Structure 1
Amino acid sequence: MSHEIWIFGYGSLVWRPAFPFQRQHPGYIVGWARRFWQGSTDHRGVPGAPGRVVTLVESPGHRCWGMAYEVAHHQLAEVLDILDFREQGGYVRHDLPLYLSGDEQRPRSATVYVAAADNPSYLGPASLPDIAHQIRASRGPSGPNIDYVLRLAEALSAMQAEDEHVHELAGLLREPILAETG
């Protein structure tokens, strides 16, 4: 085999791949938008009190930035086993065109994990304040849900990637909680 093998991460894979790779590079996919519409009961929440993590929804013309990882051919089965376990909460593999920053003329194929609306952990759309409220209250085996959002926002900012949904949500989560009066 002589072709490159790429994995594209748009959530926690952006800052914590936790699998072997040869190189990493910022990149994007087209026609998909990142949204905090997937429930997490295995990482950022628990059964009965799911956290919210990102998935992708089709969005014509949209550009979703993330981190691309080139994987060695001899490590592909190991990497996919790791990711299949990690992304077991409703995510399925898709092969999508990937554009690496600085090399947009040559799209590559990348494996991307997407949680569709028909999976049992899908929470769907909600207002950003409602999403922020749920995230503030959620914690799972991988830590507080708020950390997931803020780490993603920081990683995207570091690569100068714009994502209005993530950055507005992170802004809401950074605001102090006002005590209710009554």
Structure 2
Amino acid sequence: MPLPPDAFRHHPGLAGMIQDPETSFFRDFMPEDVDARMREMGRPADWRYTDATREANRHAALAGRMDRDLWVFAYGSLMWDPALLFDEVRRATVIGHSRGMVLYDTFGARGSPGAPGVMAGLVPGGSCEGVAFRIPAGTVDRETEILWRREMISHCYIPAFLPARTAAGEIEVLGFVADPTAEMIRLDLTRAEIVRAAATGEGLRGTSYDYLKNMLDHFTALRIEDPELSALMAEVDRYRADTSGQQSP
């Protein structure tokens, strides 16, 4: 089922920047698909949630909401690869949480044990710019099943409904907030550790560098200014240039 022709009516420039959900890797992704790789990396057999646990979490989080339109907030890779069929996308600002580069990835997505990567998570305080995708009521059950297989594959996030501002008024969005008790969430990372991970992390889903660049490219398209991320990218580029020079013969 293709996206409706007017899905990008608020932001036509995003039409060519968001992957067709039907072709996304995550559309048909199943958690067990990566079990073998996790065993090779020495992860325990219970590295991920069971299907029953994940589905129970989804139904608890969405209790009383399955029969209405759902807004999903995207602040990282969901911005360019949501894997969700949506009817509308809007620029949105979540109130009360900000974007932090706190997901320290050694699991193999955009990092590995030998080259850890870093990605974004929502942390308390401040605000966070991103986009919100509206999932029509009739498809919420199916689309959130896909979303949970991706975002709630293991202990990392807490699904939460958060207030968000858009040009058309305030909405309530489903966001995935960093769980400070999770192994992958590192609120104690130094700036140097974040820069190094963003510069060198690489896994099956690509590099942490491309992840950071994609976020900034989408901010440019949406006319979002994020001095913090722009400063981080400048530091990461300097780190890559410096280390490249050190490795030259």
Question: TM bucket by the smaller chain?
Answer: 0.7 to 0.9
1:156 maps to: 219
Structure 2 CA distance for aligned equivalents of residues 93 and 31 of structure 1: 15
Aligned match of 2:209 in 130, 146, 154? 146
Aligned match of 2:133 in 60, 63, 69? 69
- 1:40-55 equivalences in 2 (<5 Å): 40=105, 41-47=107-113, 49-55=115-121
CA contact (8 A) 1:34 1:165 kept: no
AA matched with 1:126 = L
Normalised by the length of structure 2, the TM-score is 0.65
Unaligned ranges ≥5, structure 2: 1-65
Q: Tell me whether 76-85 or 45-54 shows the greater mean CA deviation.
A: 45-54
AA matched with 1:161 = I
CA contact (8 A) 2:68 2:136 kept: no
Q: 1:36 to 1:164 in 2, by over 3 A?
A: same
Structure 2 CA distance for aligned equivalents of residues 2 and 137 of structure 1: 43
Structure 2 CA distance for aligned equivalents of residues 156 and 149 of structure 1: 11
AA matched with 2:196 = H
Structure 2 CA distance for aligned equivalents of residues 133 and 2 of structure 1: 44
Unaligned ranges ≥5, structure 1: none
1:84 maps to: 148
CA contact (8 A) 1:21 1:69 kept: yes
Q: 1:119 to 1:144 in 2, by over 3 A?
A: same
Greater Rg by CA: 2
More strand as a share of residues? 1
2:182 maps to: 119
Q: 1:153 to 1:125 in 2, by over 3 A?
A: farther
More helix as a share of residues? 2
Q: Which runs of 4+ in 1 moved over 4 A?
A: none
Q: Tell me whether 22-31 or 77-86 shows the greater mean CA deviation.
A: 77-86
Q: Percent of pairs identical after alignment? A: 24
Aligned match of 1:137 in 195, 200, 206? 200
Structure 2 CA distance for aligned equivalents of residues 79 and 39 of structure 1: 27
TM-align CA RMSD: 2.1
3-state SS in 2 of match to 1:94:
strand
1:108 offset after TM fit, Å?
A: 1.5
Normalised by the length of structure 1, the TM-score is 0.87
Deviation string 1:81-131 (CA, Å, 9 cap, x unpaired) is: 11112112412210111211x22xx32211101122111211224333321
Aligned match of 1:27 in 71, 76, 92? 92
Structure 2 CA distance for aligned equivalents of residues 123 and 137 of structure 1: 17
Structure 2 CA distance for aligned equivalents of residues 44 and 24 of structure 1: 26
Does 2:161 match 1:98? no
Aligned residue-pair number: 176
